[in-house]
Amino acid sequence: MRSENLLRSAKVLAASSALGLAAGVASAEDYTRFGIEKDVPGMCSYESIDAKDYSGRELTVITHAIPVIGEPTKLHAEQFSELTGADVEVVHVPFGDLFQRIMIPFQTGQDAYDVLFYASLWLGDYNPYLANVPEEYQSTAGMQGLTDTTRDVGMWGGEMKQYIMDGDRHYLKYREDIFSDPDMQARFEEETGRELTVPETWEEYNEVARVFTGWDWDGDGDPNYGSAEVVKRDDLMFSAFISRAAPYAKHPDVGGGFFFDLETMEPLINNPGWVRGLELFVEAQESFPPGGTNFGLGDEIFSFGGGETLMSYSWDDALIQAQQADSPIRNDVRTQMLPGAREVWNRETGEWDTFEEPNRAAYITWGWTSAVAQSSRNKDMAFDYLCFFSNEANTRHDLQIGRFGVNPYRTSHFDADFWADDLGWDRDMAEQYVETLERIDAYDNRVFDLRVPGVGQFMTSLAAGVAEAVAGQATPQEALDGVAEEWSRTVERIGKDRVREAYANVVEIEDAR
Amino acid sequence: MYRQKHLFLLPGLLVLVAIIIFPLLFTIRVSFSSWDVFQPGLDWIAGANYGRLLEDARYWGALGRLMIMAVGTVLIQYTLGFALALLVWGDLKARRFFRVLFLVPMMTTPVIMSVIWRTVFHESIGPLNGLLQALGLQGVPWLSEPALAFASVMMVEIWQWTPFMFLLLLAGLVSLPREPYLAARIDGAGPIRTFFAVTFPAMAGISIAAILIRLIEASKIMESVYVMTSGGPGTATETSTYYIYIRGLRDFQLGYASALSVTYLVIMIISLTIIAKVLVRLFVKDRT
Closest residue of B to A122, CA-based?
Answer: B37
pLDDT number for residue A78: 97
Do A234 and B250 count as a contact with CB atoms less than 8 A apart?
yes
Query: What does pLDDT average to over chain B?
Result: 91
Given a cut of 70, whether residue A251 has pLDDT beyond it is: yes
Domains of chain A, CATH where assigned? 2-165+368-406 (3.40.190.10), 171-341+349-364+446-510 (3.40.190.10)
Contacts B232 to A, Cβ<8 Å: 232-233, 293-294, 467, 471
pLDDT number for residue B13: 85
Do A471 and B233 count as a contact with CB atoms less than 8 A apart?
yes
Do B236 and A471 count as a contact with CB atoms less than 8 A apart?
yes
Q: How much is the average pLDDT of A363-386?
A: 95
pLDDT number for residue A12: 45
Contacts A303 to B, Cβ<8 Å: 124
CA-based torsion, A121, A127, A130, A133: positive or negative: positive
Mutate: best of B36, B37, B230, B245, partner A, most A CBs <10 A = B37
Closest residue of B to A285, CA-based?
Answer: B144
Given a cut of 50, whether residue A244 has pLDDT beyond it is: yes
Q: How much is the average pLDDT of A479-485?
A: 97
Do B139 and A108 count as a contact with CB atoms less than 8 A apart?
no
Q: How much is the average pLDDT of A10-32?
A: 53
With the CA atoms of B169, B171, B176 and B178 taken in that order, what torsion angle do they form, in degrees rounded to the nearest 10?
Answer: 110
Mutate: best of B226, B250, B253, B254, partner A, most A CBs <10 A = B250
pLDDT number for residue A24: 44
Burial class (CB in 10 A: 0-12, 13-18, 19+), A416: middle
With the CA atoms of A156, A157, A161 and A165 taken in that order, what torsion angle do they form, in degrees rounded to the nearest 10?
Answer: 40
Which residue of B40, B144, B249 is in closest CB contact with A291?
B144
Per-residue pLDDT tens over the stretch A112-122? 999 999 999 99
The domain tally of chain B equals: 1
Which residue of A96, A453, A464 is in closest CB contact with B235?
A464
| CA gap A257, A244 in Å, rounded | 17
Q: Is residue A477 within 8 angstroms of chain B, CB to CB?
A: no
Query: What does pLDDT average to over chain A?
Result: 92
| CA gap B160, B105 in Å, rounded | 5
Q: How much is the average pLDDT of A342-353?
A: 97
Contacts B233 to A, Cβ<8 Å: 233, 293-294, 467, 470-471
Beta bridge partners of A364: A448
Burial class (CB in 10 A: 0-12, 13-18, 19+), B9: exposed
pLDDT number for residue A28: 57
Domain that holds residue B174: 56-287
Do B40 and A107 count as a contact with CB atoms less than 8 A apart?
yes
Confidence of residue B39 (pLDDT cuts 50, 70, 90): confident
| CA gap B242, B237 in Å, rounded | 9
| CA gap B274, B288 in Å, rounded | 18
Beta bridge partners of A90: A61
Q: Is residue A125 within 8 angstroms of chain B, CB to CB?
A: yes
Report yes or no on B39 lying in a domain: no
Helix, strand, coil shares of chain B as percentages rounded to 5? 75, 0, 25
Confidence of residue B3 (pLDDT cuts 50, 70, 90): low
Do B36 and A97 count as a contact with CB atoms less than 8 A apart?
no
State the Rg of chain A over Cα: 23
| CA gap A25, A14 in Å, rounded | 17
How many contacts, defined by CB atoms under 8 Å, are there between A and B? 111
Closest residue of B to A231, CA-based?
Answer: B233
Given a cut of 50, whether residue A9 has pLDDT beyond it is: no
pLDDT number for residue A422: 82
Report yes or no on B267 lying in a domain: yes
pLDDT number for residue A61: 98
Do B58 and A468 count as a contact with CB atoms less than 8 A apart?
no
| CA gap A201, A339 in Å, rounded | 4
Q: How much is the average pLDDT of B192-201?
A: 93
Given a cut of 50, whether residue A6 has pLDDT beyond it is: no
pTM over 0.90: no
Provide CB contacts within 8 A for A307, sequence distance 6+: A175, A218, A220, A224, A322, A327, A328, A329
Range with the largest mean pLDDT of B124-138, B147-161, B217-231: B147-161
Which residue of B123, B230, B236 is in closest CB contact with A232?
B230
Contacts A289 to B, Cβ<8 Å: 123-124
Are B88 and B170 spatial neighbours (Cβ–Cβ below 8 Å)? Answer: yes
Which residue of B38, B233, B246 is in closest CB contact with A293?
B233
Do A294 and B231 count as a contact with CB atoms less than 8 A apart?
no
Contacts A103 to B, Cβ<8 Å: 37, 252
CATH code of the domain covering residue B238: 1.10.3720.10
Question: By C-alpha distance, which of A243, A206, A339, A283 is closest to A470?
Answer: A283
Confidence of residue B283 (pLDDT cuts 50, 70, 90): confident
Do A460 and B251 count as a contact with CB atoms less than 8 A apart?
yes
Which residue of B124, B232, B246 is in closest CB contact with A308?
B124
Q: Is the peptide bond before A67 cis (omega within 30 degrees of 0)?
A: yes
The CA distances from residue A495 to A87, A483, B169, B177, B257, in Å, are 42, 18, 56, 69, 19
Q: How much is the average pLDDT of B91-119?
A: 83
Q: Is residue A100 within 8 angstroms of chain B, CB to CB?
A: yes
Cα A156-A72-A371 angle, rounded to 5 deg: 20
pLDDT number for residue A142: 93
Mutate: best of A293, A299, A486, partner B, most B CBs <10 A = A293
Per-residue pLDDT tens over the stretch B64-83? 999 999 999 999 999 999 99
Report yes or no on B9 lying in a domain: no
CA distance B81 to chain A (A): 32
Per-residue pLDDT tens over the stretch A42-55? 999 999 999 999 99
The CA distances from residue A265 to A197, A269, A446, A504, B50, in Å, are 40, 11, 20, 11, 27
pLDDT number for residue A507: 94
Contacts A290 to B, Cβ<8 Å: 123-124, 129, 139, 141, 144
Given a cut of 60, whether residue A442 has pLDDT beyond it is: yes
Are A311 and A173 spatial neighbours (Cβ–Cβ below 8 Å)? Answer: yes
Report yes or no on B257 lying in a domain: yes
Closest residue of A to B36, CA-based?
Answer: A454
Contacts A460 to B, Cβ<8 Å: 246, 250-251
Beta bridge partners of A270: none
Given a cut of 50, whether residue B172 has pLDDT beyond it is: yes
Report yes or no on B46 lying in a domain: no
Confidence of residue B249 (pLDDT cuts 50, 70, 90): confident
Q: How much is the average pLDDT of A297-319?
A: 92
Taking the CB of residue B230, how many other CB atoms lie within 10 A of it?
Answer: 21
Do A232 and B232 count as a contact with CB atoms less than 8 A apart?
yes
Closest residue of B to A499, CA-based?
Answer: B38
Question: By C-alpha distance, which of B230, B228, B242 is closest to B116?
Answer: B228
Contacts B153 to A, Cβ<8 Å: none
| CA gap A108, A375 in Å, rounded | 12
Provide CB contacts within 8 A for A71, sequence distance 6+: A403, A404
Closest residue of B to A103, CA-based?
Answer: B37
Question: By C-alpha distance, which of B41, B248, B45 is closest to A108?
Answer: B41
Contacts B141 to A, Cβ<8 Å: 290-291
Contacts A472 to B, Cβ<8 Å: 234
Do B143 and A456 count as a contact with CB atoms less than 8 A apart?
no
Report yes or no on B30 lying in a domain: no
Closest residue of A to B48, CA-based?
Answer: A493
Confidence of residue A163 (pLDDT cuts 50, 70, 90): very high
Contacts B57 to A, Cβ<8 Å: none
Range with the largest mean pLDDT of A265-274, A501-510, B84-93, B94-103: A265-274
Classified as helix, coil or strand, A163 is strand
pLDDT number for residue A23: 45
Report yes or no on B280 lying in a domain: yes
Range with the largest mean pLDDT of A19-23, B98-102, B163-167: B163-167
Per-residue pLDDT tens over the stretch A408-424? 999 999 999 989 988 88
Q: Is residue A107 within 8 angstroms of chain B, CB to CB?
A: yes
Report yes or no on B12 lying in a domain: no
Closest residue of A to B37, CA-based?
Answer: A454
Q: How much is the average pLDDT of B173-196?
A: 92
pLDDT number for residue B100: 82
Per-residue pLDDT tens over the stretch A275-304? 999 999 999 999 999 999 989 888 898 899
Confidence of residue A2 (pLDDT cuts 50, 70, 90): very low
Are B128 and B121 spatial neighbours (Cβ–Cβ below 8 Å)? Answer: yes
Classified as helix, coil or strand, B36 is strand
Given a cut of 50, whether residue A238 has pLDDT beyond it is: yes
Contacts B252 to A, Cβ<8 Å: 99-100, 103, 125, 454, 456-457
Question: By C-alpha distance, which of A130, A185, A169 is closest to A373?
Answer: A130
pLDDT number for residue A15: 46
